[in-house]
Amino acid sequence: MVKTLRCAIYTRKSSEEGLEQGFNSLHAQREACEAYVLSQAGEGWLPIKTNYDDGGFSGGSIDRPGLKALLADIEAGRIDVVVVYKVDRLTRSLTDFAKIVDRFDAKSVSFVSVTQAFNTTSSMGRLTLNVLLSFAQFEREVTGSGSGTKSPHPRPRGCGWGHADVGL
């Protein structure tokens, strides 16, 4: 007999843009996660009915209502597996991720990303996850700083930055 694993799906979109549409990014993430959970039905995976969604919330903060509800249900023992579309949907902060995974581990909750194959129960899975999160945190820092492409001293149009080539 296969043990039933209660699977919670968590979705997040940073901006509110497009959330008013009938089918938006949160729906697309949920649909992909539900399909993945259903593909694991033979292993006892069963999606729970509660939606854990955070539309318009940055992954750089853990102060999100959907995430708080998810963590509360984990603490209450209602969840066995957390499923996300991509790791950075949960958080883009390596520090926050470590804290969240510690809470998962304390309750023997597994963590799965449907687009990035790994399993947090193995050391290789944890390494893969930490590398992915390092890149997610880097991306958040770069995009948050304006990508570092703007100079604090704008130049007039048509003026170059360097020296004239020798002989010109």
Q: What is the CATH number of the domain that holds 110?
A: 3.40.50.1390
Domain count, the chain: 1
Q: How confident is the model at residue 36 (pLDDT cuts 50, 70, 90)?
A: very high
Residue 92 in any domain: the answer is yes
Query: Is the Cβ–Cβ distance between 86 and 116 less than 8 Å?
Result: yes
**pLDDT value at 83 more than 90:** yes
Residue 61 main-chain phi, psi, to 5 deg: -130, 145
Please count the other Cβ atoms lying within 10 Å of the Cβ belonging to residue 108.
Answer: 10
Q: Which two tokens stand for residue 155?
A: 């130049």
Whole-prediction pTM value? Answer: 0.73
Average pLDDT value for residue range 31-45: 95
